[in-house]
């Protein structure tokens, strides 16, 4: 695949263009790569010149749980973003309704057969558009999104607010 291919923001870790690629020692992006997709979407939203191919090549061995079979370690999400100049702050679940506005958010939710990372990118009207959540990208308030997860038997366990690095003029 040509490294200049532009996939834009990604809404499906199972996409045939990249889903079967290795993630960790034993996983694939399709099965366990939601953390990588969330990281890519945040970085891509901050910089439209980011392309999936070089992003994947630089991060395909990111720290995973159980050699990739259980996805991305939460500490790896924070560490990777901070190394790239992003400011990352934990958002308390009980205070999400009143959380300050960020450029993006990453939500880690637990459900009956695992856990899943979802990235939300800020919109101008105060909502976030959430990607890779098993349906079309959806703009919602953060608190409404967290409640919608609970309504579908998914339980948010961590939320991080992300500020993009300042671009040099």
pLDDT exceeds cutoff 70 at 29: yes
pLDDT at 71: 73
Rounded Cα distance, 79 and 16, in Å: 28
| 121: confidence class by pLDDT, cuts 50, 70, 90 | very high
pLDDT exceeds cutoff 50 at 160: yes
Which is more confident, 7 or 164?
164
Q: What's the predicted TM-score (pTM) here? A: 0.89
pLDDT in tens, 70-92: 578 788 889 889 999 999 999 99
pLDDT at 6: 67
What is the per-residue DSSP string for 21-58? SEETTTEEHHHH-HHHHHHHHHHHHH-TT--HHHHHHH
In the chain, the domains with their CATH numbers are: 22-163 (3.90.70.10)
Rounded Cα distance, 146 and 26, in Å: 30
Tokens of 34: 């939601």
pLDDT in tens, 122-133: 998 889 999 998
Mean pLDDT of the chain: 86
Alpha-carbon distances of 20 from 3, 17, 166, rounded to whole Å: 17, 8, 34
pLDDT exceeds cutoff 50 at 67: no
pLDDT at 70: 56
**Which stretch of DSSP H or E encloses residue 149?**
helix 142-151
Question: Of 126, 127, 70, 128, which is closest to residue 118 (Cα–Cα)?
Answer: 128
pLDDT exceeds cutoff 70 at 69: no
pLDDT at 74: 85
Question: Of 44, 45, 48, 46, which is closest to residue 59 (Cα–Cα)?
Answer: 44
Mean pLDDT, residues 157-165: 96
C-alpha torsion sign, points 145, 163, 11, 56: negative
Which is more confident, 15 or 68?
15
């Amino acid at each position: 695949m040509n490294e200049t291919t532009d996939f834009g923001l990604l809404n499906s870790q199972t996409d045939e263009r990249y889903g079967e690629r290795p993630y960790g020692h034993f996983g694939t992006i399709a099965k366990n790569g939601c953390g990588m997709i969330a990281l890519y979407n945040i970085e891509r939203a901050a910089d439209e010149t980011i392309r999936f191919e070089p992003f994947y090549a630089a991060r395909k061995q990111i720290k995973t749980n159980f050699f990739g079979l259980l996805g991305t370690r939460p500490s790896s999400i924070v560490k990777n973003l901070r190394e790239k100049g992003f400011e990352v702050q934990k958002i308390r679940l009980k205070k999400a309704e009143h959380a300050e506005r960020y450029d993006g958010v990453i939500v880690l939710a637990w459900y009956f057969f695992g856990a899943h990372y979802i990235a939300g990118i800020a919109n101008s009207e105060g909502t976030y558009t959430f990607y890779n959540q098993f349906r079309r990208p959806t703009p919602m308030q953060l608190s409404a999104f967290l409640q919608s997860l609970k309504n579908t038997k998914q339980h948010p366990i961590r939320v991080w607010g992300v500020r993009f690095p300042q671009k040099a003029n």
